[in-house]
Amino acid sequence: MLLRFSVSNFGSLRDPQELSLVASKLKGDAKGLIEAAELRNETVLPAAVIYGSNASGKSNLIKAFARMRNFVLNSHREGEPGAPINLKPFAFDPHYIAYPSTFSADFICNTSIYSYAFDVTSAGFLRESLHAIREGRSSMLFERTSEGFNFGRSLKGRNKVIEDLTRPNSLFLSAAAQNNHEELSVVANFFRQIRIDRPTNLPLRLVSARLVDQGLSQRALDLLRAIDVGVSEFKIDDLPIDNRNSRLTLRRLPAQSDLFRKAPQPELFIERERDRRFRLGHSTETGQTIYLDLEDESAGTIQLLLILQPIYRALEHGSVIAIDEFGSSVHTRASEMILSLFNNRETNPNRAQLIVATHDTNLLNTKGLRRDQVWFTEKDAGGATHLYPLTDFETRKSDNLERGYLQGRFGAIPFAGSLPNFPKDD
């Protein structure tokens, strides 16, 4: 369960910007708040909604979260010795190219509160640390600086061995997870379960292939029915073999005898694979079900098909999911229903969390959305993004937040003036 995420010198996020999912003390609907025994006097938000004009930094925040996850999971496994680290520091001030990018996160995992942070440049990781709070007591598990590593007494395992395996361009946490460190593998698994969804223009054939592979859960189908997009069923068809497009697979025959295993060149045979197609069924007035190909479905339906499975997987496992451009092609009612799944303890018993960046201002008046769940991004004159919560402003529960936002009361809107005058054609 995520408590806080902070980043600096990444994209337009020049100075440290922090997204907090710890609930404020304001009076509001507390039915959906997540209670955690690890926190003494605080509760946690199940969702956060981020608003801002185009290019204000919303996507960069989601990208930074994804980059931190990728560093933890892959910096040791995929990095090459001595290879530079691909970073995107703040570009509008040349001094920041040499400054490190910083990432940090506080989260609850296996009844412990962890605080993890690292500094990184293209040359390598300069600093890395992990602290834990258990039963109200804080302890350092490990710290990494330019001078070396320091391990806390409570961190058991092959720490020194993994230290020797850790390259300058890989995280110690990543190396520990790849080498089955007992406690640190659990910490890394928190990041592994995070799902990041950003806008993508996948060809419909690949969308169909993904849905063929994953199927569509009954809960996802029920939600499609509830928002009345006309979908009632789905099916996966085996298509006739097309000799022009079919794929040929060479497979070795299994060894059935000692004589076969000793053969210098085992026989090969050709296996022709069938294409499969995912289709949605729509009910007609006569009670029939008509199945349509994905190219006949709306962009909103396609987007829902892509995000519903990850949404329900996060709810099932109690993990974090972050979605950029949330609801860009989807009716507000569908977005409201997805938000309500996380803001309701009955549908979110495993303490899952949803973070979305969106332009759908209708969500600001969604029933059950607390004011401390709303955040804004705005760029200053120097091109740097500032992230701030709605709770920075004096509001009342009865306020029309959508109207206030569109009127510019909270900032984070594209412009407040009139359109420029364009020259007329001759």
Q: How far apart are the C-alpha atoms of 393 and 408, rounded to whole Å?
A: 12
Residues 69 and 134 in one domain: yes
- Our CA angle for 390, 392, 393, nearest 5°, is 75
Which pLDDT does position 253 carry in this prediction? Answer: 44
More confident site: 290 or 242: 290
Q: What is the pLDDT of residues 332-361, one digit of tens each?
A: 888 999 999 999 999 999 999 999 999 999
Q: What is the pLDDT of residues 260-301, one digit of tens each?
A: 344 444 444 444 455 788 888 988 888 889 998 888 988 888
Token pair, residue 40, equals 């003494």
Residues 76 and 220 in one domain: no
Which pLDDT does position 259 carry in this prediction? Answer: 37
Domain that holds residue 290: 204-302
Task: Identify whether the C-beta of residue 144 lies closer than 8 Å to the C-beta of residue 75.
Answer: no
> Is residue 246's pLDDT more than 50?
no
On whether residue 313 sits in a domain, the answer given is no
Q: How far apart are the C-alpha atoms of 233 and 229, rounded to whole Å?
A: 12
On whether residue 12 sits in a domain, the answer given is yes
Phi, psi angle pair for 69, to nearest 5°: -60, -45
Select from 302, 337, 370 the last residue of a domain.
302
On whether residue 399 sits in a domain, the answer given is yes
CA nearest to 102, candidates 18, 199, 213, 201: 18
Which pLDDT does position 82 carry in this prediction? Answer: 85
Residues 32 and 145 in one domain: yes
Task: Please give the span between the terminal C-alpha atoms of the chain, in angstroms, as a whole number.
Answer: 62
Which pLDDT does position 225 carry in this prediction? Answer: 82
Q: What is the pLDDT of residues 354-374, one digit of tens each?
A: 999 999 999 998 888 999 999
Q: Give the chain's count of helices (H) and strands (E).
A: 10, 20
Q: What is the pLDDT of residues 378-419, one digit of tens each?
A: 999 999 999 999 999 988 878 888 899 888 889 887 655 555
Residues 148 and 9 in one domain: yes
Residues 209 and 132 in one domain: no
On whether residue 262 sits in a domain, the answer given is yes
Which pLDDT does position 421 carry in this prediction? Answer: 63
Select from 248, 270, 302 the last residue of a domain.
302
Bridge partners of 35? 43
Pairing of strands 124-134, 137-145: antiparallel
Which pLDDT does position 18 carry in this prediction? Answer: 98
Contact residues for 206 (Cβ-Cβ < 8 A; gap 6+): none
Question: Residue range 205-233: average pLDDT?
Answer: 81
Which pLDDT does position 330 carry in this prediction? Answer: 81
> Is residue 317's pLDDT more than 90?
yes
Residues 343 and 236 in one domain: no
Residues 186 and 55 in one domain: yes
Task: Identify whether the C-beta of residue 90 lies closer than 8 Å to the C-beta of residue 96.
Answer: yes
- Give the residue carrying structure tokens 């996380």: 342
Token pair, residue 384, equals 């740097």
Residues 18 and 158 in one domain: yes
Which pLDDT does position 414 carry in this prediction? Answer: 67
On whether residue 38 sits in a domain, the answer given is yes
> Is residue 118's pLDDT more than 90?
yes
CA nearest to 413, candidates 53, 48, 37, 159: 53
Select from 268, 302, 336 the last residue of a domain.
302
Could you give the number of structural domains in the chain?
2
Q: What is the pLDDT of residues 195-218, one digit of tens each?
A: 999 877 778 888 888 888 877 888
Residues 135 and 16 in one domain: yes
Q: What is the mean pLDDT of the chain?
A: 86
Bridge partners of 149? 144
Which pLDDT does position 263 carry in this prediction? Answer: 44
CATH assignment at residue 54 = 3.40.50
Q: How far apart are the C-alpha atoms of 405 and 343, rounded to whole Å?
A: 22
The Cα-based distances of 147 to 102, 114, 158 in angstroms read: 19, 23, 20
pLDDT band of 106, cuts 50, 70, 90: very high
On whether residue 388 sits in a domain, the answer given is yes
Question: Residue range 123-145: average pLDDT?
Answer: 94
CA atoms lying within 13 Å on the CB side of residue 417: 3
- H or E stretch covering 76: helix 58-78
Which pLDDT does position 415 carry in this prediction? Answer: 59
Which pLDDT does position 417 carry in this prediction? Answer: 55
pLDDT band of 109, cuts 50, 70, 90: very high
Task: Identify whether the C-beta of residue 266 lies closer than 8 Å to the C-beta of residue 260.
Answer: yes
On whether residue 419 sits in a domain, the answer given is no
Residues 286 and 347 in one domain: no
For the ranges 44-48, 123-127, 140-144, 283-287, which has the lowest average pLDDT?
Answer: 283-287
Phi, psi angle pair for 246, to nearest 5°: -70, 155
Residues 152 and 229 in one domain: no
Q: What is the pLDDT of residues 29-80, one digit of tens each?
A: 788 899 988 888 899 999 999 999 999 999 999 999 999 999 999 999 887 8
On whether residue 383 sits in a domain, the answer given is yes
Percentage of the chain modeled with pLDDT above 90: 56
Residues 30 and 68 in one domain: yes
Which pLDDT does position 229 carry in this prediction? Answer: 65
